[in-house]
Amino acid sequence: MNEFRRMMQRVLKNKKSEQLVILFLILLIAGLFFSRALLSFASLAMALPFVYHMKDIYRNKLLLLGIGLILLPVLITGIYSDDKVRWINSVLVKIPLLTLFLGLAYTRIPEKVWNNLILFYLVLVSIACCWSLWRYFSDPYTIQQSYLKAKVLATPADNDYVKFSWMVVTGFFLGIKLLGKMPFNRLYLAISCILVFLALYLHLLAAKTGLLCLYTGGLIYLFFICFIQKKWKLGVILFSCILIFTVFTYDLFPTLRNRVQYIVYDFGNYSKGHFLPGYNDAARWLSMKAGYAVMQENPIMGVGFGDIKTAVAAWDVKNYPTSYEYERFLPTNEWLVYGAGSGWPGMLLFSIGLALLLFLTTAKDPVSVILAVISCIPFVTDDSLEGQYGVILLAFIAFFGQQKFSKQEQSYEKPV
């Protein structure tokens, strides 16, 4: 009788934890697209179910170590950062990496629920893309011309088109992962149509990060088909389809053509050392030069995460005084942010922590590897961990998108 009572207590404990996590995941997904306040609440509240699993803290000690190594350089530099407000903001914005870990890594989400949540994500990201398209069709010519001047289409997520394109491409590959477990039926066709729509939208939006993630994922998948599965004919067919799709979208979308034209023109200037004020890519490259210079001047400890922006701005004023004040921002590369803020040791700790996090959460299937890779690309092209959306997306992919199911759960359960 006592054993039965203890068993029932365990079942109820797990059920309560699971229900809370699912609730907060629904709020988190909705918040990603429509409400920063909801996103903040859900990402922090995700840690609450951990109260049911506190005794299991050492079960994922290596994952906890990885997160700790990512946070440690930021925390330590608070000792010598002059601007404590910016340092505190840099710490606080990274907290969801820990809270999502505590909520998701210790709670088993049934595969059927996982399927439904992915479907929910796909529906919401499609609605968000439709809202963005509505803004485009309200004045297409003006928006097309704006792409020649470093402007882009309005998007949800506080108009952060880089992070939004990352959200879209994440939904695309999560959808691919879902299709891989489904039988061919009406729902399969509906999800396939959504994925085609998302791929088309990414080309219309023409955000470099989103397209780089999309095509990198496609190449990884082709490599898997050709060299792992040895299905050369299928690989050739898929490569041909990707090539045709690329040419088709380039011819179809003026925004993509104008974006490419702008990138080529801007690159032609800053690659020769001509940094024209007002050009976005030039400013981003300049920020990376500044970040590297600050790191070289402070190789052991960095300047502190609270003072990176001040140091970068000072370098810009000294070396490129014609740049505008709004162009003096953090290095658009997360490794250079850590290098400037905490020196080479901090950059090394961050690299080890990120590698641990992705290695321990990535399964062996190709889509899982793709999700891990597209988690890294935005860190190369942007300071993604210095903003709320980037931190939460990394945690969302690692602890939810990469969820591994036990063998007895592997059979497909249709979303409802």
pLDDT of 14? 53
In tens, the pLDDT along 145-186 reads: 999 887 889 999 999 999 999 999 999 999 999 998 889 999
d(CA 215, CA 209): 10
**Residues near 320 by Cβ (< 8 Å), separated by ≥ 6?**
275, 286
d(CA 385, CA 378): 9
Confidence of residue 281 (pLDDT cuts 50, 70, 90): confident
pLDDT mean across residues, the chain: 89
Looking at 14-23, 35-44, 193-202, 214-223, which range is the least confident one? 14-23
d(CA 258, CA 162): 17
In tens, the pLDDT along 37-73 reads: 999 999 999 999 888 777 777 788 999 999 999 999 9
Per-residue pLDDT at 89 exceeds 50: yes
Confidence of residue 6 (pLDDT cuts 50, 70, 90): very low
- Which of 54-81 are b and which e, b meaning 16 or more Cβ less than 10 Å from the residue's Cβ? eeeeeebeebbbbbebbbbbbebbeeeb
pLDDT of 415? 66
Per-residue pLDDT at 279 exceeds 60: yes
Looking at this protein, which amino acid is placed at residue 264?
V
Q: 38-46 long-range CB contacts below 8 Å, 24 or more apart? A: 39/388, 39/389, 39/392, 40/388, 43/96, 43/99, 43/100, 43/388, 43/392, 43/395, 44/95, 44/96, 44/99, 45/99, 46/21, 46/96, 46/99, 46/100, 46/102, 46/103, 46/104
pLDDT of 74? 97
Per-residue pLDDT at 9 exceeds 70: no
pTM of the model: 0.92
Confidence of residue 278 (pLDDT cuts 50, 70, 90): low
Backbone angles phi, psi at 414, to 5 degrees: -65, 135
DSSP 207: -
Per-residue pLDDT at 8 exceeds 80: no
In tens, the pLDDT along 251-264 reads: 999 999 999 998 88
Residues of the chain above pLDDT 70, percent: 92
Give the pLDDT mean for 301-328: 90
pLDDT of 127? 97
Per-residue pLDDT at 403 exceeds 90: no
Give the pLDDT mean for 83-101: 96
d(CA 120, CA 30): 9
Give the pLDDT mean for 313-326: 86
Give CA separation, 403 vs 24, 68, 100, in Å.
16, 21, 13
